[in-house]
Amino acid sequence: DGGITQSPKYLFRKEGQNVTLSCEQNLNHDAMYWYRQDPGQGLRLIYYSQIVNDFQKGDIAEGYSVSREKKESFPLTVTSAQKNPTAFYLCASRSRGTNEKLFFGSGTQLSVL
Amino acid sequence: SQQGEEDPQALSIQEGENATMNCSYKTSINNLQWYRQNSGRGLVHLILIRSNEREKHSGRLRVTLDTSKKSSSLLITASRAADTASYFCATGSTSGGSYIPTFGRGTSLIVHP
């Protein structure tokens, strides 16, 4: 099946720990995005990447880092510098062209122990 | 960054009734999209309307766009209990060659059987 896969579904972080959220897509999409969603809130853009080996900060990039070494993969690291990491994290991808529809993964819920 | 804002924040209706959600945004857009999110899941694309279109239909969904008022509405006709979800509008714009979708806070729809 083609799609976008996020793992793990649930993740717990200890104080001072870095954690990495996985996002993989087999849709051959060039663009990938990371969003953060807090309860009852909309989606806020953390980072995005339009092409391999290139990525840009979104509105709330502080305390996060990403890499885009492969077209299929766009992992997000939540560093210890992110003081309030508890949230639902969503990864999305998009193909180039006139259809700008986003495809989303099923999300990762990150909580602090 | 620009952001759509949905109204109302919450909507509770009976099965068979119509549900109308509105979205307002601040700056010029290329297109506007509506997404649906079931609790604890990723977003699913419903419909896209371009800035030069005024109305679009897809099954029980009807979307309108008024660029002069910077607003859009999503109408779900003959609602079903399975339509219970959160609905988000996303406005699309291009910045420096990158397409960046930004989301509103969503409307939480509950359809009572």
pLDDT tens column, A59-89: 999 999 999 999 999 999 999 999 899 999 9
Instruction: Give the pLDDT of residue B8.
Output: 93
Instruction: Give the pLDDT of residue B78.
Output: 98
pLDDT by residue for chain B (113 residues), tens only, comes to 446 788 899 999 999 999 999 999 988 888 899 999 999 999 999 999 999 999 999 999 999 999 999 999 999 999 999 999 999 999 877 767 778 888 989 999 999 99
Distance, in Å, from the CA atom of B19 to the CA atom of B110, rounded to the nearest integer, reads 10
Instruction: Give the pLDDT of residue B1.
Output: 47
Q: Taking residues A29-47, report their average pLDDT.
A: 93
Instruction: Give the pLDDT of residue A71.
Output: 96
Are B98 and A88 within 8 A, CB to CB?
no
Q: How confident is the model at residue A1 (pLDDT cuts 50, 70, 90)?
A: low
Residue type, A27: L
Instruction: Give the pLDDT of residue B4.
Output: 72
Are B3 and A42 within 8 A, CB to CB?
yes
CA distance A108 to chain B (A): 9
Are A45 and B104 within 8 A, CB to CB?
no
Q: Is residue A80 within 8 angstroms of chain B, CB to CB?
A: no
Which residue has better confidence, A112 or B110? B110
Count of CB pairs separated by less than 8 Å, A with B: 63
Q: Is residue B43 within 8 angstroms of chain A, CB to CB?
A: yes
Distance, in Å, from the CA atom of A2 to the CA atom of A90, rounded to the nearest integer, reads 17
pLDDT at A3 over 70: yes
Are B102 and A45 within 8 A, CB to CB?
yes
Q: Residue A94: its chain B contacts at CB < 8 A?
A: 99, 101
Cβ-in-10-Å burial (0-12, 13-18, 19+) of B66 comes to: exposed
Contact B91, B2 (CB under 8 A): yes
Instruction: Give the pLDDT of residue B3.
Output: 64
- What does residue B40 show for φ and ψ, rounded to 5 degrees? 75, 15
Instruction: Give the pLDDT of residue A99.
Output: 62
Instruction: Give the pLDDT of residue B92.
Output: 76
Are B1 and A31 within 8 A, CB to CB?
no
In chain A, which residue's Cα lies nearest the Cα of B42? A106
Instruction: Give the pLDDT of residue B98.
Output: 77
